[in-house]
Amino acid sequence: MKPVTVPQNSLSTTKLNLLDLDRESLAAYFTGIGEKSFRASQLVQWIHQKGVTDFGLMSNLSIALRDHLQASTVIRMPEVAYDASSSDGTRKWLLQLDDGNRIETVYIPEDDRGTLCVSSQVGCALDCSFCSTGRRGFNRNLTTAEIISQVWLATRLIDEEKKPGRKVTNVVLMGMGEPLLNFDNVVRAVRLMMDDFAYGLSKRRVTISTAGVVPAIDRLGDVLDMRLAVSLHAADDELRDSLVPLNRKYPLPQLMEACRRFIDKQNARSRITFEYVLLDGVNDSDRHAKELINLVKGIPTLVNLIPFNPFADSGYRTSPAKRVMRFYKILADAGITTVVRRTRGDDIDAACGQLVGKIEDKSRRHRRFEEPRIGMQI
The predicted-structure confidence for 284-321, as pLDDT tens digits, reads as follows: 999 999 999 999 999 999 999 999 988 888 889 999 99
Q: What is the distance between the alpha carbons of residues 264 and 250, in angstroms, rounded to a whole number?
A: 20
Check the CA dihedral 327-332-335-339 and report its sign: positive
Q: Are 339 and 304 in contact (CB under 8 A)?
A: yes
Residues marked as catalytic:
104, 352
Query: Mean pLDDT, the chain, as a whole number?
Result: 89
Q: What is the pTM of this model?
A: 0.88
Question: What's residue 161's pLDDT?
Answer: 86
The predicted-structure confidence for 29-57, as pLDDT tens digits, reads as follows: 999 999 999 999 999 999 999 999 999 99
State the DSSP H helix or E strand holding residue 276, giving kind and residue range, or none if neither.
strand 272-278
Choose the CATH number for 16-74 among 3.30.1490.190, 1.10.357.10, 3.40.50.1970, 1.10.150.530.
1.10.150.530
Question: What's residue 309's pLDDT?
Answer: 87
Question: What's residue 369's pLDDT?
Answer: 30
Q: Which of 63-72, 74-83, 254-263, 363-372 has the weakest average pLDDT?
A: 363-372
With a cut of 50, say whether residue 362 has pLDDT above it.
no
Which of these, 116, 24, 155, 17, lies nearest to 76 by C-alpha position?
17
Q: Are 194 and 200 in contact (CB under 8 A)?
A: yes
More confident residue, 108 or 367: 108
Beta-carbon contacts of residue 214 (< 8 Å; ≥ 6 apart): 250, 254, 255, 258
More confident residue, 97 or 9: 97
- pLDDT-derived band at 365 (thresholds 50, 70, 90) equals very low
Taking the alpha carbons at both ends of the chain, their separation in whole angstroms is 49
Superfamily of chain region 79-360: Aldolase class I (3.20.20.70)
Q: What is the distance between the alpha carbons of residues 251 and 235, in angstroms, rounded to a whole number?
A: 10
In the three-class reduction of DSSP (H, G, I as helix; E, B as strand; rest coil), residue 68 is classed as helix
Phi, psi angle pair for 204, to nearest 5°: -80, -5
Per domain, the residue ranges of the chain are: 16-74, 79-360
Q: Are 245 and 232 in contact (CB under 8 A)?
A: no
- Tell the burial category of 363 from Cβ atoms under 10 Å away from its Cβ (0-12, 13-18, 19+): exposed
